[in-house]
Amino acid sequence: MQTYIQEEIPVLVDRFGRRHDYLRLSLTERCNLRCFYCMPEEGIPLRNKAHFMTGKEVLTMAETFTRLGVKKIRLTGGEPLVRKDAHQIIRNLGHLDAELAITTNAVLVDQYIDTFKEAGIRSVNVSLDSLQAERQAKISRRDYFERIIRNIFLLMDEGLKVKINMVVMKNINDDELIDFVELTKDNSLQVRFIEFMPFQGNRWNWANGIGLNDMMATFNNFYGRILKKQEQPNETARCYQVPGYKGSFGIISSVTQAFCSTCNRIRVTADGKMRNCLFADRETDLLTPLRTGEDITPLIVKTIQTKKATRAGLNTMADLNDPSRHEQNRSMVAIGG
């Protein structure tokens, strides 16, 4: 008699067939920089630490998602390394059966190299928006440029894979596109150019943005020939390389050419709210039921099923240009980059 084994159905698959196996987990809303596209000029209200996940709750949350099929966890913030117990949290998460990575502004990276290695972190994304010290200080409202650059090269010297994330803004840093690509000439790193996105308090206007097509025109006009690289599954960036250069660059076109059809990302904020998308203004509270001993798995599965096809329902440029559609969203610093 022939028997059939029923294949296990992944539980974190949404209505559009997208399997979600990548968790972006924020450790804190606090940051030692004040980048204006991420944080309002007046800052955000500081809340009692009781509102946020403890180190043990961060681990429990991550364990729950890995049991549901998450294969990669990226720590975000705010700036994740300003959290006092970040060393222990990172080490604890390193024991999970998932790839562990981190996004940081690199100000404190030199204090965490050993911890990264102990936890198995091999990939570090660094946020840097200018290669000019004065301009970077103006964007971030803090002067840490030399330390950031030094720590980027420290990461590479220590054998870690580095990606530099640059938010491209018209008449602010768009004249540095070529300078950033030139970093990839002699260094095995990737630069990723990110379109300016709307969040609460960042006074977003697409008139200040630079889209993928305009960026590519700049690169093609300067270099003449650019190689298109094979992209990994669920990749957010369109990736390229200048012939003969050691590194590569990519463009994350969240505004002009969204990559939502292959999205596999889940977000959990530092205060334990689950979000389906950076653009979403709806959240699911996981921390409260977690603290009362409830099984949060049904909430996670249900939330995945409510995910929109594109940018949390912001389907057109008209939607994006309507402040009422995104001003209810959090500031990026309170979501996790």
pLDDT tens-digit profile of 225-278?
Answer: 999 998 888 888 999 999 999 999 999 998 888 889 999 999 999 999 999 988
Q: What is the DSSP letter of 5?
A: P
Q: Is the pLDDT of residue 9 over 60?
A: no
Q: Residue 326's pLDDT is what?
A: 58
Q: Residue 2's pLDDT is what?
A: 46
b/e string for 282-319 if b means 16 or more Cβ within 10 A? bbbebbeebeeeeebeebbeebbeebbebbbebeeeeb
Q: Residue 329's pLDDT is what?
A: 67
Count of beta carbons in the 10 Å neighbourhood of residue 45: 7
Q: Residue 132's pLDDT is what?
A: 98
Q: What percent of the chain has pLDDT over 70?
A: 92
Mean pLDDT over 172-186 rounds to 98
The token duo for 273 is 């709210």
Q: Is the pLDDT of residue 4 over 70?
A: no
Radius of gyration of the chain (CA): 20
Q: Is the pLDDT of residue 3 over 50?
A: no
What the chain holds in terms of domains, given with CATH numbers, is 22-332 (3.20.20.70)
- Residue 49 host element (H or E): none
Short-list 147, 241, 259, CA closest to 191: 241
Q: Residue 57's pLDDT is what?
A: 98
Q: Residue 333's pLDDT is what?
A: 74
pLDDT higher at 3 or 169: 169
Choose from 2-11, 42-51, 149-158 the range with maximum mean pLDDT.
Answer: 149-158
Q: Residue 201's pLDDT is what?
A: 58
Q: Residue 287's pLDDT is what?
A: 98
In terms of C-beta distances under 8 Å and separation of at least 24 residues, what long-range contacts does 179-182 make, across chains too?
Answer: 179/131, 180/131, 180/249, 181/219, 181/223, 181/242, 181/245, 181/249
Dihedral sign of CA atoms 316, 320, 326, 330 in order:
positive
Q: Write the burial class of residue 324 (CB in 10 Å: 0-12 exposed, 13-18 middle, 19+ buried).
A: exposed
